[in-house]
Amino acid sequence: MAYHILCIDDDPVLLSTLQTILKKENQVSTALSLQDALPLISEQLIDLAILDMNLGSETGIAAIKEIRRISPATDVVMLTGERNPKDIVMAIQNGASDYLCKPFEVTEFMAVVQKMKDRGAIKDKNATLMSDLNPPHASSRFIGVSKPFRDLLEQASRVVGYPANILVQGESGTGKELMARHIHSLEGKPSRPFIAINCAAIPEGLIEAELFGYEKGAFTGATQRKVGKFELANGGDIFLDEISCLRLDLQSKILRVLQEQEIVRVGGNTPIKVSFRVIAATNDNLDAKVEAGEFRMDLYHRLRVILLQMPPLRNRVEDINLLVSHFLDKFSKTGHKKRITAEALRRLQNYSWPGNVRELENVIQSLIILTADDVIDVHHIPQWTGNRSAVSPTAQGIQLPDIKPESNTIPSLKDFVRHMERQYIEFVMRTYGGDKTRTCNMLNLGRTTLYGKLRELGIEGE
């Protein structure tokens, strides 16, 4: 939707002139009186009202107050035929954003309009950022000395200065968002925006509005314009976590944004130019999803210009000591840092950590809270960390179907795979007492994917 300007003046010749000047790049409405203007202001999104200070029997100050009361987001520029400083100060104090003295040059008039448009864009962005603040991840830095970790950081350092899109793959809890923020920080430009959005955490019906923004009245509940994440990321980076959860039609729209470098807000029709780098992340196998027709190949190739693979914690055993020390510092009370024995640390190093660094962080926080002693010993460590693997490869309880060569009821491969998939998911859920977060971590599935499997296979506990 174009920038909407309402011109209010009792001089029809002036209104016609203003409309001619403005209509090439803006949506323009006119009104000969405040009474004619108020219905428009009440029913439509007016970005800027250009108001004559003397509207017959109506005073400009009263008109400014009424406009601001009905539509606080509307900027008001006052037109006056007298350079009376007292009137100008009073108008500004009552809500006018700027003023022009008649007669004025077209260039002077357009400069004021452009200033109001720039001001409106900044207000829209600030309002969106304040209503949907996205703070940095609690763990603000990477910690590790292992070779897989050092190799990853070395790869990440090579992308500095390049606008190429990046795909970060890895199991849940390995720090994909932290990697995205690390890549962003390497540019060394604090003014570059970093916008993060978890595609799996937003309902399907709202994700498009979150990404593209929307105009007032675009749908029920859209009472004002909202700038989308793509627009907020202009000039910087946007992090799309759980990118594999996006439905196919939305994947097509994102592909078009990357190709054309422009977006259109929901409910609008005016293209808005954008330029940003996408850092996408997923714990799913996108190659398999492309093969299954669940993810667009062209979008996959657009995103995977640079591929970074996050190593799981089980391949970074040398880093566990450093991470434990960091989390002890982070969660212990000030001046009362708890310590951990060598035996307890060995127990943690021998566990496979299916939930990776996030699971380790949660365990250490729990130990700090629940351990009464100043020293965390091996008997404080949860019993389920006693095995190298959280789930044994020869998991008991998973049974092969009874297959006899002479039988005519041998299951198809599809039915057999479904049978084994159901049993394995049920086994892992039992192992973790129905905890779906840990089940997702163990199975290396996103939460949305797990819920879909539970429904598809008819497993109770969805």
What local confidence, expressed as pLDDT, does residue 166 receive? 97
What local confidence, expressed as pLDDT, does residue 117 receive? 85
Model confidence at 338: pLDDT above 70: yes
What local confidence, expressed as pLDDT, does residue 305 receive? 96
Fold observed for domain 394-462? Arc Repressor Mutant, subunit A (1.10.10)
Model confidence at 168: pLDDT above 90: yes
pLDDT band for position 280 (50/70/90)?
A: very high
What local confidence, expressed as pLDDT, does residue 139 receive? 40
- Please say whether the dihedral angle defined by the alpha carbons of residues 248, 250, 255 and 260, taken in this order, is positive or negative: positive
Model confidence at 155: pLDDT above 50: yes
CA distance 420 to 403: 14
CA-to-CA separations, 174 to 48, 168, 309, 356, 438, in angstroms, rounded = 48, 10, 10, 6, 14
The residue among 214 and 334 whose pLDDT is bigger is 214
> Which residues, in sequence order, are CB contacts of 435 under 8 Å at separation 6+?
429
CA distance 346 to 298: 46
pLDDT band for position 282 (50/70/90)?
A: very high
Q: Phi and psi for 30 in degrees, rounded to 5?
A: -130, 155
70-89, pLDDT tens digit by residue? 887 788 998 887 777 787 78
**The token pair that represents 126 in the structure block:** 């600030």
Amino acid at 351: Y
Domain assignments of the chain as residue spans, ordered by start: 4-131, 147-309, 313-385, 394-462
| DSSP secondary structure letter of residue 424 | H
Just give the CATH number of 4-131: 3.40.50.2300
**The token pair that represents 16 in the structure block:** 């016609």
Model confidence at 401: pLDDT above 90: no
CA distance 10 to 282: 60
Average pLDDT over every residue of 314-333: 92
Model confidence at 330: pLDDT above 60: yes
Select the highest-mean-pLDDT range: 315-329, 407-421, 441-455. 315-329
> Which residues, in sequence order, are CB contacts of 167 under 8 Å at separation 6+?
243, 280, 281, 282, 286, 303, 304, 305, 306, 307, 308
Amino acid at 314: R
pLDDT band for position 176 (50/70/90)?
A: very high
357-399, pLDDT tens digit by residue? 999 999 999 999 999 889 999 999 988 886 544 444 444 455 6
Is residue 7 within a helix (H) or strand (E), and if so which, with residue range?
strand 4-8
4-131 matches 394-462 in fold: no
Q: Where are the beta strands (DSSP E) in 192-267?
A: 194-198, 213-214, 226-227, 237-241, 262-263
If phi > 0 it is left, if psi is from -120 to 50 it is alpha, else beta; for residue 104 that is: beta
Q: How many angstroms separate the first and last alpha carbons of the chain? A: 42
CA distance 81 to 84: 9
Average pLDDT over every residue of 173-188: 92
Its CATH architecture, for the domain 313-385, is Orthogonal Bundle (1.10)
What local confidence, expressed as pLDDT, does residue 426 receive? 83
pLDDT band for position 130 (50/70/90)?
A: very low
> Which residues, in sequence order, are CB contacts of 150 under 8 Å at separation 6+?
144
Model confidence at 29: pLDDT above 50: yes
pLDDT band for position 136 (50/70/90)?
A: very low
Average pLDDT over every residue of 404-409: 58
The residue among 423 and 258 whose pLDDT is bigger is 258
CA distance 267 to 217: 7
Average pLDDT over every residue of 327-340: 89
What local confidence, expressed as pLDDT, does residue 459 receive? 82
What local confidence, expressed as pLDDT, does residue 432 receive? 72
Contact in structure between 86 and 97 (CB atoms under 8 Å): no
pLDDT band for position 110 (50/70/90)?
A: very high
What local confidence, expressed as pLDDT, does residue 320 receive? 94
Length of the chain as a residue count:
462
Select the highest-mean-pLDDT range: 1-5, 11-15, 436-440. 11-15
In CATH, 147-309 is 3.10.105.10: no
pTM of the model: 0.62
CA distance 247 to 233: 22
pLDDT band for position 133 (50/70/90)?
A: very low
Round the average pLDDT of the chain to a whole number and report it: 84
In the chain, pLDDT over 90 holds for what percent of residues?
44
Average pLDDT over every residue of 32-38: 88
What local confidence, expressed as pLDDT, does residue 152 receive? 94
What local confidence, expressed as pLDDT, does residue 443 receive? 80
What local confidence, expressed as pLDDT, does residue 274 receive? 93
422-458, pLDDT tens digit by residue? 888 888 887 777 778 778 877 877 777 888 888 888 8
CA-to-CA separations, 438 to 311, 353, 356, 449, in angstroms, rounded = 18, 10, 10, 14
